[in-house]
């Protein structure tokens, strides 16, 4: 398998010097239109013969070469991306006026803990898995390919999805280096950092991330993009390097709610290799998620405003607080019924309880060992092997700077016992007597929370959430999260889309011009 740098360097020899304008049979399309273009914009350009998938992939490869050395959002490019683009163009020509899937011919980056059975690596950002061979595409990747999407490459991440050590900054991995927020050049937040960085900086159209606790919501919030953390089991986890399937979920990170809905529509549903998807498939609506992209989606929705200090996140008279209050006015103006000044009964216990950490540590060892065992080939076969690898290659993995205490502690566990069972029972109780009680008692469709502060509540209960750009404090973005009970994605998409269309806050990062 080729390394990150060598795979990228393959593209330096390709003879594609792009013109500033694509001149085709249709009206000329300026490349300046592409960076913030939505999936629908691109499909329209395809339909009008203003753009081909090859030209789009070429454009993104060039953008990656320009910006990725600084931003480090892309770990590997797919050597077959241009061939996939050519195939998509051929299929489009053959299809004529017959409609194709919404993602057909659209480039997508997938987080590097999501398996692709191709020439790319799947390493969770670690050298320990470099050269490993996966048995097949992850279930979500198979669905993307079926939809005609082009797998452009792998996005960087916090190594092992932030399940290695306690002092490792967000967005850092041994293979990928330190990812940077394109707005601030600082912390990109969360383990799906590269997926958010790349979409925010227009290195790709859409991307996939994963979340165990905050790993989609936080980078989406910090990088001014839209992220959907789906109900656990709504999207398959087969072929995803695990932390705990009890909380792990795969979701889209995009620039708009509509694009996120199209990606979710493509990847949601049954996966025979992930039993949780069979149960959760009852939540997938007939006709998909795009039907819920409604301008009037807020009308009549009961939205709870949780003013609990644990989740509210900022004091009075701050810019964020004033902005949030203005957004509440927008929700009302769009027809939402706000149920204000709510408090979750057990919020303090939720914020301090250690049950999630206890259960996650045991489950990580069990499920990672199972994942490694099922690889066709791998330098490591157990968590213990990974720990040993890191010690032997301490310089490569920067073990002298960043520890691996989470892994060491997980290795010490011995499977599910009384303490662990109590932890699982406790999380069920906290969810039922906390968030579920709040939602049902007040007959809410969703709650609106500033930023990703609700991630733990959603994580331990397997609930969905959507982050939408909400503003900028100088150059630093922040978002608003709409969250609901399991299977409430249709309502959340209606709410998020209506809010997005009413505000249209997102703007591209200005620092990119300097780069």
**What does the pLDDT read at residue 64?**
98
CA distance to 213, 329, 418, per residue, from 338 (Å): 27, 9, 42
Q: What are phi and psi of 421, to 5 degrees?
A: -65, -40
Angle of CA points 204, 208, 209, to nearest 5°: 125
pLDDT above 60: residue 15: no
Average pLDDT over residues 78-96: 97
- Which one from 53, 72, 102, 111 is the annotated catalytic residue? 111
Average pLDDT over residues 434-444: 98
**What does the pLDDT read at residue 170?**
97
Tokens, residue 240: 């995803």
Is 215 among the catalytic positions? yes
pLDDT above 90: residue 8: no
Q: What are phi and psi of 508, to 5 degrees?
A: -70, 155
Average pLDDT over residues 483-509: 98
Label the pairing between strands 476-483 and 446-450. antiparallel
Average pLDDT over residues 96-122: 97
**What does the pLDDT read at residue 33?**
77
pLDDT tens, position by position, 365-412:
999 999 999 999 999 999 999 999 999 999 999 999 999 999 999 999
- Which one from 191, 193, 355, 455 is the annotated catalytic residue? 191
Confidence of residue 31 (pLDDT cuts 50, 70, 90): low
Is 111 among the catalytic positions? yes
For the chain, state the CA radius of gyration.
Answer: 22
**What does the pLDDT read at residue 2?**
42
Compute the 3-state secondary structure of the chain and give helix, strand, coil in percent, each to the nearest 5: 45, 15, 40
pLDDT above 80: residue 14: no
**What does the pLDDT read at residue 512?**
83
Exposed/middle/buried for residue 390 (C-beta within 10 Å: 0-12, 13-18, 19+):
buried
Confidence of residue 17 (pLDDT cuts 50, 70, 90): very low
Question: Is 470:479 a contact under the CB 8 Å cutoff?
Answer: yes
Averaged confidence pLDDT in the chain: 93
pLDDT tens, position by position, 311-345:
887 777 799 999 999 999 999 999 999 999 999 99
Is 474 among the catalytic positions? no
Q: Which residues pair with 15 in a beta bridge?
A: none
Tokens, residue 295: 């301008």
Question: Is 193:158 a contact under the CB 8 Å cutoff?
Answer: yes
DSSP 314: S
pLDDT tens, position by position, 156-196:
999 999 999 999 999 999 999 999 999 999 999 999 999 99
Average pLDDT over residues 240-253: 98
- Which one from 173, 215, 220, 498 is the annotated catalytic residue? 215
Average pLDDT over residues 272-286: 98
Q: Is the dihedral of CA 387, 120, 145, 10 positive or negative?
A: positive
The CB density around residue 196, as the number of other CB atoms within 10 Å, is 35
Dmax over CA atoms of the chain, in Å, equals: 69
**What does the pLDDT read at residue 32?**
72
Confidence of residue 476 (pLDDT cuts 50, 70, 90): very high
């Amino acid at each position: 398998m080729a390394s990150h740098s060598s795979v990228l360097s393959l593209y330096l020899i390709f003879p594609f010097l792009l013109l500033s304008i694509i001149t085709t049979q249709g009206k000329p399309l300026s490349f300046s239109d592409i960076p913030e273009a939505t999936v629908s914009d691109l499909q329209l350009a395809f339909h009008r013969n203003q753009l081909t998938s090859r030209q789009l992939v070429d454009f993104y490869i060039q953008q990656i070469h320009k910006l990725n050395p600084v931003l480090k959002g892309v770990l590997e490019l797919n050597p077959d991306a241009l061939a996939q683009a050519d195939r998509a163009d051929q299929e489009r020509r053959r299809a004529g006026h017959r409609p194709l899937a919404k993602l057909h011919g659209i480039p997508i980056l997938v987080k590097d803990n999501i398996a692709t059975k191709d020439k790319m690596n799947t390493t969770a950002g670690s050298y320990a898995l470099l050269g490993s061979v996966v048995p097949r595409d992850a279930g979500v990747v198979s669905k993307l390919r079926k939809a005609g999407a082009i797998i452009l490459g792998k996005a960087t991440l916090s190594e092992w999805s932030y399940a290695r050590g306690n002092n490792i900054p967000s967005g850092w991995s041994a293979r990928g280096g330190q990812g940077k927020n394109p707005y601030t050049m600082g912390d990109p937040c969360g383990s799906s950092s590269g997926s958010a960085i790349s979409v925010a900086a227009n290195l790709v159209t859409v991307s996939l991330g994963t979340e165990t606790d905050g790993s989609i919501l936080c980078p989406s919030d910090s990088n001014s993009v839209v992220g959907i953390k789906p109900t656990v089991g709504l999207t398959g986890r087969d072929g995803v390097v695990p932390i705990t399937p009890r909380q792990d979920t795969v979701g889209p990170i995009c620039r708009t709610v509509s694009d996120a809905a199209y990606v979710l529509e493509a990847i949601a549903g049954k996966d025979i290799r992930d039993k949780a998807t069979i149960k959760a498939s009852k939540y997938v609506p007939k006709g998909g998620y795009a039907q819920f992209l409604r301008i009037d989606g807020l009308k009549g929705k009961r939205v709870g405003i949780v003013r609990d200090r644990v989740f509210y996140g900022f004091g009075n008279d701050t810019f964020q607080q004033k902005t949030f209050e203005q957004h509440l006015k927008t929700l009302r103006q769009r027809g939402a019924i706000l149920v204000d000044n709510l408090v979750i009964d057990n919020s303090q216990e939720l914020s301090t309880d250690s049950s999630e950490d206890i259960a996650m540590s045991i489950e990580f060892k069990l499920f990672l060992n199972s994942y490694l065992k099922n690889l066709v080939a791998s330098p490591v076969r157990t968590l213990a092997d990974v720990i040993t690898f890191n010690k032997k290659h301490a310089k490569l993995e920067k073990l002298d700077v960043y520890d691996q205490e989470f892994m060491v502690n997980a290795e010490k566990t011995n499977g599910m016992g009384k303490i662990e069972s109590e932890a699982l029972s406790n999380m069920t109780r906290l969810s039922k007597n906390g968030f579920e009680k709040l939602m049902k008692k007040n007959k809410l469709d969703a709650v609106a929370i500033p930023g990703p502060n609700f991630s733990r509540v959603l994580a331990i209960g397997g609930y969905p959430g959507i982050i939408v750009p909400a503003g900028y404090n100088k150059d630093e973005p922040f978002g608003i999260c709409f969250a609901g009970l399991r299977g409430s994605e249709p309502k959340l998409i209606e709410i998020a889309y209506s809010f997005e269309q009413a505000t249209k806050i997102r703007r591209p990062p200005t620092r990119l011009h300097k780069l």
